Protein backbone atom coordinates (compact mmCIF):
# COMPACT_ATOMS: atom_id res chain seq x y z
CA UNK A 1 0.00 0.00 0.00
CA UNK A 2 1.44 3.36 -1.04
CA UNK A 3 1.61 6.15 1.56
CA UNK A 4 1.54 9.87 0.75
CA UNK A 5 3.77 12.33 2.59
CA UNK A 6 3.48 16.12 2.61
CA UNK A 7 6.81 17.98 2.46
CA UNK A 8 6.59 21.69 3.24
CA UNK A 9 8.94 24.66 3.54
CA UNK A 10 10.98 23.59 0.51
CA UNK A 11 13.50 25.95 -1.08
CA UNK A 12 12.05 27.11 -4.43
CA UNK A 13 14.97 25.65 -6.40
CA UNK A 14 14.44 22.10 -5.07
CA UNK A 15 14.02 19.55 -7.87
CA UNK A 16 12.10 16.29 -8.03
CA UNK A 17 15.40 14.44 -8.43
CA UNK A 18 16.78 15.99 -5.21
CA UNK A 19 13.69 15.02 -3.23
CA UNK A 20 13.71 11.54 -4.73
CA UNK A 21 17.36 11.03 -3.70
CA UNK A 22 16.75 12.46 -0.21
CA UNK A 23 13.64 10.40 0.57
CA UNK A 24 15.06 7.23 -0.96
CA UNK A 25 17.35 7.14 2.09
CA UNK A 26 14.21 6.14 4.04
CA UNK A 27 12.92 3.60 1.52
CA UNK A 28 11.37 3.09 -1.91
CA UNK A 29 10.02 6.34 -3.41
CA UNK A 30 7.19 5.72 -5.87
CA UNK A 31 6.76 9.33 -7.01
CA UNK A 32 7.53 12.96 -6.19
CA UNK A 33 5.22 15.83 -7.11
CA UNK A 34 6.44 19.38 -6.45
CA UNK A 35 3.47 21.74 -6.48
CA UNK A 36 4.02 24.77 -8.71
CA UNK A 37 2.13 27.97 -9.45
CA UNK A 38 -0.03 27.44 -12.54
CA UNK A 39 0.86 30.71 -14.20
CA UNK A 40 4.52 31.23 -13.31
CA UNK A 41 5.64 27.61 -12.96
CA UNK A 42 7.56 28.52 -9.79
CA UNK A 43 7.49 26.12 -6.85
CA UNK A 44 4.96 26.91 -4.13
CA UNK A 45 7.40 25.49 -1.58
CA UNK A 46 5.73 22.14 -0.96
CA UNK A 47 5.54 18.69 -2.48
CA UNK A 48 4.00 15.27 -2.08
CA UNK A 49 6.18 12.18 -1.91
CA UNK A 50 4.70 8.70 -2.30
CA UNK A 51 6.47 5.90 -0.42
CA UNK A 52 5.81 2.23 -1.14
CA UNK A 53 5.19 1.11 2.47
CA UNK A 54 3.90 2.49 5.77
CA UNK A 55 7.13 1.64 7.60
CA UNK A 56 9.17 3.56 5.01
CA UNK A 57 6.85 6.57 5.21
CA UNK A 58 7.08 6.57 9.01
CA UNK A 59 10.87 6.40 8.75
CA UNK A 60 10.90 9.30 6.26
CA UNK A 61 8.79 11.46 8.58
CA UNK A 62 11.07 10.76 11.54
CA UNK A 63 14.23 11.32 9.47
CA UNK A 64 13.22 14.46 7.60
CA UNK A 65 10.74 16.45 9.70
CA UNK A 66 12.73 19.57 10.73
CA UNK A 67 15.59 18.46 8.40
CA UNK A 68 17.66 21.45 7.20
CA UNK A 69 17.71 21.75 3.42
CA UNK A 70 19.47 24.91 2.22
CA UNK A 71 18.62 26.74 5.48
CA UNK A 72 14.97 25.67 5.25
CA UNK A 73 13.71 23.35 7.97
CA UNK A 74 11.38 20.91 6.23
CA UNK A 75 7.94 20.08 7.54
CA UNK A 76 7.20 16.43 6.80
CA UNK A 77 3.85 14.82 7.66
CA UNK A 78 1.86 11.76 6.71
CA UNK A 79 -1.18 12.66 4.62
CA UNK A 80 -4.41 11.26 6.02
CA UNK A 81 -6.73 9.67 3.51
CA UNK A 82 -10.01 11.35 2.66
CA UNK A 83 -11.88 8.49 4.34
CA UNK A 84 -10.12 9.23 7.64
CA UNK A 85 -10.85 12.97 7.40
CA UNK A 86 -14.66 12.76 7.49
CA UNK A 87 -15.76 15.53 9.78
CA UNK A 88 -18.77 15.04 12.03
CA UNK A 89 -18.81 11.26 11.53
CA UNK A 90 -18.49 9.15 14.65
Is residue 84 included in any domain, yes or no? no
Is residue 83 included in any domain, yes or no? no
Enclosing domain of residue 36:
3-78
| Widest Cα–Cα separation across the chain | 43
- Residue 90's pLDDT is 47
Is residue 85 included in any domain, yes or no? no
Is residue 89 included in any domain, yes or no? no
The model's pLDDT over 38-85, given as tens digits with 9 standing for 90+, comes to 999 999 999 999 999 999 999 999 999 999 999 999 999 999 865 554
CATH number at residue 56: 3.30.70.330
Within its chain, how far is the Cα of 19 from the centroid? Answer: 8
Alpha-carbon span 22 to 59, nearest angstrom: 12
- Residue 78's pLDDT is 97
Total domains in the chain come to: 1
Torsion, Cα 78 84 87 90, to 10 degrees, reads -140
Amino acid sequence: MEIEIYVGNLPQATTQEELNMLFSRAGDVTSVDIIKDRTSGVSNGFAYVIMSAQSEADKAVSMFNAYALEDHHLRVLLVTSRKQRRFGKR
